[in-house]
Amino acid sequence: MDNKIHKIVKAIVLDNYKIKIVFDDGLEKIIDLEKKLEKGIAKELKNKDTFKDIRIGSSGEIYWSNGFDLCPVTLRME
């Protein structure tokens, strides 16, 4: 089993609060985030313009300007 933490190297916003992510080992996944946007600061991402402002951090996580973030380990297990 590979215990390495793989970083996200690409994130593409799709329709309906989905994102396509690509990890540093080439694994690609489409993640549906709609249910994760129900509480706290995540609710701000229901604004489609805010949701589109996705960024990749230095640790390979994805985050948005409002401070909401998701780690690559969690997303890889989705």
- pLDDT of 45: 96
CB neighbours of residue 44 within 10 Å: 15
Q: Which secondary-structure segment (H or E) carries 29?
A: strand 28-32
CATH number of domain containing 15 = 3.30.2020
With a threshold of 0.75, does the pTM exceed it? yes
- pLDDT of 78: 84
- Is 2 domain-assigned? no
In the three-class reduction of DSSP (H, G, I as helix; E, B as strand; rest coil), residue 55 is classed as: strand
Q: How many domains does the chain have?
A: 1
CA angle 10, 43, 28 (to 5 degrees): 20
- Is 1 domain-assigned? no
- pLDDT of 2: 62
- Is 47 domain-assigned? yes
Residue 59's domain spans which residues?
8-77
CB neighbours of residue 4 within 10 Å: 7
- pLDDT of 47: 95
Q: pLDDT of the chain along its 78 residues, tens only?
A: 567 889 999 999 999 999 999 999 999 999 999 999 999 999 999 999 999 999 999 999 999 999 999 999 999 988
Q: Which of 18, 14, 52, 21 is nearest to 66 (CA)?
A: 52
Q: Which of 46, 49, 17 is nearest to 30 (CA)?
A: 17
- Is 3 domain-assigned? no
